Amino acid sequence: MKSALVTGASSGFGRACVKALIEEGFRVVALARRKERLETLKSEFKEKIHTLNLDVRNQEEVFEAIENLPREFKDLEILLNNAGLALEQKEFDNLSLDDINTMVDTNIKGFLYIARAVIPLLRKQKSAYIFNIGSVAARNPYFGGNVYCGTKAFVGQFSLALRNDLRGSNIKVTNIAPGLCKTEFSEVRFKGDKQKADALYENTQFLSAEDIAKVFIALIKLPSHINVNEIELMPVTQTWNGFFIEKFNEA
């Protein structure tokens, strides 16, 4: 049976993709920090799931856990490198150093630890597939996006560059860059302020985590010779807001 590893499996895109992969006949290694959420997945999917309760920022734990995967989960063919977060939406110079570090350490460094630990396993397969979760924020700077936008731009460029390094390996790489999608993302960003988070999704149509999972599964099912480098998706209700132009007040 084919295996996949999904980071950020306790919520949102990750959890929806775990379920979709299992429906497609994969065994899944599900990684996240919240143990109780992982236990719920384990009790639902039993032997089809192996849970890794860890923080992607912990370099040592990441490498140790992946090195010691049970034999029946070690033949990884798919990596969904998805765990990530935004914190706050305010001017960079008002952002705390803790928040800056958490975003960089999770979205860039933790993301790289996972890729670095898993790619040697993917290389052992006849073919394999790496999905990185970027964002529309990578190419569309918005007020207060600063560090988060930068981390997702990193994911996008790293994904493209990685394809060069993997040439000849039969490992595909796709950067999936979603727009507005209702998950726990905004609650995390606004640090539990549910009202502020909900306001973003009020009176509009947003993407769901299941929508992302559908796109993910459709990509997996493409013919083996096609590599989709990047895919950006938004709800139809979302477009761009254009440039902001400062107007001087006349005296």
Residues annotated as part of the active site: 148
Asked whether the beta carbons of 49 and 28 are under 8 A apart, the reply is yes
Say whether residue 184 binds ligand NDP (CB under 6 A). Answer: yes
| Binder among 51, 81, 135, 151 for ligand 8X3 (CB under 6 A) | 135
| Binder among 137, 147, 166, 197 for ligand 8X3 (CB under 6 A) | 137
Minimum Å gap between C-beta 63 and ligand NDP is 14
- Of 27, 41, 115, 117, give the one whose Cα is nearest residue 72: 27
| Binder among 4, 6, 13, 190 for ligand NDP (CB under 6 A) | 13
Contact string 39-68 vs ligand NDP (x = CB under 6 A): ----------------xxx-----------
Partners of 175 in the β-ladder:
132, 230
Binding part of the chain for ligand NDP, among 3-11, 70-78, 121-129, 243-251 by CB under 6 A, reads 3-11
Helix axes of 146-165 and 111-123: crossing angle, nearest 10 degrees: 20
The CB-nearest residue to ligand 8X3 is: 135
Say whether residue 131 binds ligand NDP (CB under 6 A). Answer: no
Enter the tokens of residue 28. 């899944």
Per DSSP, the residues of 194-243 read HHHHHHHHTTS--B-HHHHHHHHHHHHTS-TT----EEEE--TT------
